[in-house]
Structure formats: C-alpha cells, structure tokens
Amino acid sequence: MSQASSLYRRHRPRTFAEVVGQEHVVRTLRNAVTQDKVHHAYLFVGSRGTGKTSMAKILAACLNCERGPTVQPCGACESCVSIASATSMDVIEMDAASNNSVDDIRDLRDSVVYAPMAGRHKIYILDEAHMLSTQAWNAFLKTLEEPPPNTVFVLATTEATKVLPTVVDRCHRFDFSRPTVEHLSSVLRRVAETEAISLPPDAVALLARHATGSFRDALGTLEQLVTYAGSEIATEDVLAVLGVADADLLFASLDAIADADPRAALLAAARLTETGRDALGFVRDLEAHARDLMIVQTLGEVPPELAITPDRDARLAEQAGRVGASAVTRLIDLLAAALEAARNGSDARTQLELALVKAASPEVDSSRQALTQRIERLEAALSAGPAAAPARESLREPPVSEPTAPNRAASVSESPTAPHRPAPGPQSPASSPAPPPEAPRPPSRPPPAQPAGAARQAASGNGTPSPTISVPVPGDHAGPELQLGALRSVWPAVIETVKAENALCAALLEDTMPIVVDGSQVTVAFPPSEDFRRRKAADDSYRQCVAAAVRTVTGSQAQIAYVLAEPATETDGEPAAPAPPTEDEWVQRFVAEFEAEEIVPDSDADADPGPTSESESR
C-alpha cells in the first residue's frame, strides 16, 4: 500500500458517480452543470466527514475539465489532476478558521477580480465558513452577492446557525445527511478490496458503527488498523485499537438487568476492568447498545442500519424481547447521568457500577421510572400465573379473606382500625397457589372498641375504608380503591415527578406526607414549623402540579389540601386528622408572630399569687 497520502485522501470521490449517500445534492448539481445553471454561491452544511469539500472539488472538476463542462470529468487532464492534488491556481481553498480577519477577506476580494488562469471558472472553497467574524462577512457581502463572471463560491460549514442570514440568503443551501452504517460499510469494503486488505464482516460493522457518520473517521481508523495489524485484520484487532467493549460484555450487562441481578451486572463491569478498557468508553458503548434495543422494541425488528451479523442481530432481537421497555429507557437515563457526572469529575468506574446496580435493582431507586419498572416486573410475573408470581407489590390494599367466604375478597370487617400492611409474604394467596389447611385465618370477632369513624364505616355495611383514592381502570370509571398507605409509599415518586416539572414546587414538598385521603381529597401535612412553605405551596399552579403528579403515578384524580401537622400521625392504622389548635397554642402563635405580651387575667392572678406590679403582669 502506497504511503504517498492517507487513505481518505487517496479514495476521496472524484466524480458524482462515486459519491455515496448524498443523492439529493448530486442530482441538483449534476442538473445545474448539464443545463448551464450553476449558481455563483453555494452553502454546504453538514457534520464533519460527510463529503462537503469533496463535493466542492467535484463541482470544480466538472466546470474546469478540458472536456467540459461535463458531469463526468476525465480525471486525466491537467486541470483534473491539479484539482485532485490541490495545486490548481483556479481552485482556491481557504480555511476560514485561521483566515477570518477583515484583512484576509480583503485579500480574497482583491484576488477575485482576476480572470481564471487556465480553466473556465475560478472556484473559491471556504471551509469552516462559520468562523468568519461579522466584520469579515460585512466586508465580503458585496462580493458574494455580485461576483465577477465565471466565479463560484462554495462555503462549507458544520454550524449553519452561526452564518449570517444575509449570507445564507445569497447562497443555494445544501444539507449533507450523515451517512448510514450501510453507506460506511460499503465504502470500507470497497477501499479494503482496492488496497488488498483482509477485513472480516464483523470488523467492517464495528468500524462503520464507531465512525458515527463520518467517512473520514472510518477510513482514518482503517489506516490505523493497517499500521497496527498489517493487511490481515481480525475483529480482535479492531476491539483493541478502538478500545470498545466486547459484544458479550454488553449483552451480559443487559441480561443481568433483565434478570434483576445486580451481582452479575457488577461482575460484567469487573470483567471490563480486567480487559484494561476504559470505563467511560464502556458507558458510551452500553448506551449505544441500549439505544439499539429501544429501536428494535419500537419497530419490532432489527432495521438495516443496526444490522451487523446474522448471529448478533438474532441475539439483539431476542434480548429486546426479554428486557422490559421501561428498563431500557431507564438505563439510558442512568447512563446519561453517569456520563454527565464523569464529565464533572466523578470516577467513571464508580458511575458505571452505580448505573448498573440501579438499573438491575429498581427497588433501591425512588424515582418514578424505577417504580414503573417494578410494576412492569410485577405484571409480567403475575401474567405467568400464580405459581410464578412474587410477593405482592401493588398500589392497592391486599384483600383479606372472610371466614365465611374464603374465595371472595372482602373488606376489613374484623377490624376497621387495623393498620394498613403490605401484602403478606409466602402465605399470601398471590404467592402460593394452594395454601396449607393449617394456614391461620383472620378472626371474625369484632374489636372490643371502635372509634367513631370506624363505627360509622362498619354500620354502612360495605366495610370499605373511607380514606381512599379511586384509581380508574379501563371499563370501570370508579376503579379499585387506593389506600392511604399505598399513597404514602409512592409519595417520594410523586415528589420526583413534580421535580421534573417544577423544581421549586418539589423543594416546597420536602418533609411532607399525606395524612388523610377522603375520596379524591388528599390532605398533605407540613411540619408545624413550616407555615411559610405551606402557604407558598398552596398556590393554585403548585397544587395543580402536585395533583398532576399524583395522577401520573397512581392514575387517580386528586384535590390537594395542606395543613400543619406531624406527617407521620397514624393511630391504630387509621390516620388521625390534625387536631385544631388549643387556646394556649393560639396564644403562643400570637405572641411569637406579633411579638406580643400575654396579660394574665385576675382569676389566674388570684390562683397564682405573684408580683402585682403592672410591668410584671404583662
């Protein structure tokens, strides 16, 4: 292989027919040359390595070829050879990043007036055009609008938003699309065949994916591999040079998340460390793999741009069917947070391990996404049958069987004041298909004493506790009732949901907890010393935000009210309503709020002899 120039320069397309992936640009320029309607200014916009400069040189060769103007330059005449070798006097390439001053533009403006030296046209190619200063653009604007005859300007940029609108208006704009994995793979195979390089399909796919839409990056990495391994390149060589994670590690990490096995996830990270690869690079590779799973889950198949090898594609489709959709999207969020933390100075390996443990153990995370993933797992287990269902983890109160109707879920008639408890363990009907005959049954005797609220509840005959939230289900507008205990358990997720919409409102809700649920009315308790936060949170917009968060997490409509009380007030399992302030509490509040002094009545003075002076009695 010749070392005269780099691979991407030797294999740069020389004609429109060799351009890959920019059909809309090729067709327009080809018609412009054929119909003699070439504009005097073009703006090529696209990410790096998409072929903007190559297209500009192809246009110059078409205009100045000795056989032209033609859409198929010969590549052998003096003009074509000089353009390809960047020595043509009529094709001036200028790097606007390093020549962006007014003086540089004035020199260019002075040279424009001269006629072409050998060809028919004079072509100016300004790379990174967005780097020109505003003063330089103003100095160049008149020349760009009315250039001399047979002069063509081609402005190439990666950031069109930084180019002045007055400049964009004077140009024909072309947006270069990022090449797909298929486009990059075809170019790599063609170059490898031309250069007699042995490149297996897996290696081609890895190089194409790693290039991230840049022809120049793909060919540059191929040249680096040739230097590393010679003309016989193996997939292991690509992994070593790129520093990317092995596909087995990526699949093993997602398998651990699907199996809710944080230990296996940590072992996958440990194996990565043993290989000496970068933890931050593995986070990026894992993010790309999770994205592939998300796309396959959404489309229901492996699209062509994600296809690498038949074995890998089949494994990707199988894993996409096993891993929950919420787990995949949550993993992407966790990995994005890990990347941000690593950029801010945190240890990359620690962030990787934290993301994997959180993804595999949603119970250690109080976020709404983690709660959704836990519910999804529970639904999947329940759908597999009672024998495979884990311990009940539901938002609703677990039913208690009555002695007279063992097959019917009944209300808590044996004790209306019994505390709300989570679902039973191994003895629960949800976790055991056939409980033993000696399993304890709830007593049928009434409680010896009932509070007034409980007595009214028992007298109603239905035995349904009054402090509930109605959760709508399809086909049943009333829906199953959501107990206060369930709402309290998901309250951190409600605050997390509020935080995503309004961080200030979420901050106001710190140290709060629901204490009463009556139909759709939810009473939230603030600590007694936080009256300012309570009054601030009572704003209509904030209360609507909290109600929307409750609906998002529980599916229920809610009307929010706030009181000052201890958040964790529960008596015998039934929440106690906040007691009204006593007379002494009102006096203390007035004294503290208005810096007042209490005047002791005469009756109190007689009962409690003490100083009788006026100053002492105040």
Q: 3-state SS of 437-469? A: CCCCCCCCCCCCCCCHHHHHHHHCCCCCCCCEE
CATH 3.30.300.180 segments of the chain = 481-575
CA 114/CA 121 separation, integer angstroms: 11
CA 178/CA 469 separation, integer angstroms: 51
Q: How many angstroms separate the Cα of 207 from the Cα of each of 154, 166, 503, 605?
A: 31, 40, 43, 93
pLDDT for the residue 387: 46
- Whether cis (ω within 30° of 0) applies to the bond prior to 69 is yes
CA 20/CA 51 separation, integer angstroms: 9
pLDDT for the residue 155: 92
What are the backbone dihedrals phi and psi of residue 289, each rounded to the nearest 5 degrees, phi first?
-65, -40
Q: Give the tokens for residue 448.
A: 């010896």
Note the CATH number of domain 181-242: 1.10.8.60
Sign of the alpha-carbon dihedral angle for 99, 100, 105, 106: negative
The residue type found at 366 is S
CATH class for domain 481-575? alpha beta
Mean pLDDT of 68-82: 87
Under the banding of pLDDT at 50, 70 and 90, the label for residue 125 is very high
403 burial type by CB count under 10 A (0-12 exposed, 13-18 middle, 19+ buried): exposed
Residue 107 pLDDT > 90 = no
Q: Range with the lowest mean pLDDT among 41-45, 220-224, 268-272?
A: 268-272
CA 64/CA 272 separation, integer angstroms: 55
Say whether 410 sits in a helix, a strand or coil. Answer: strand
Q: Range with the lowest mean pLDDT among 25-39, 390-404, 500-514?
A: 390-404
pTM above threshold 0.85: no
Note the CATH number of domain 247-370: 1.20.272.10
CATH 3.40.50.300 segments of the chain = 7-175
Residue 478 pLDDT > 60 = no
CATH 1.20.272.10 segments of the chain = 247-370
Q: Range with the lowest mean pLDDT among 259-263, 376-380, 528-532?
A: 376-380
Superfamily of domain 7-175: P-loop containing nucleotide triphosphate hydrolases (3.40.50.300)
Task: Find residue 483's DSSP bridge partners.
Answer: 468
Q: How many angstroms separate the Cα of 357 from the Cα of each of 81, 193, 285, 353, 363?
A: 59, 45, 17, 6, 10
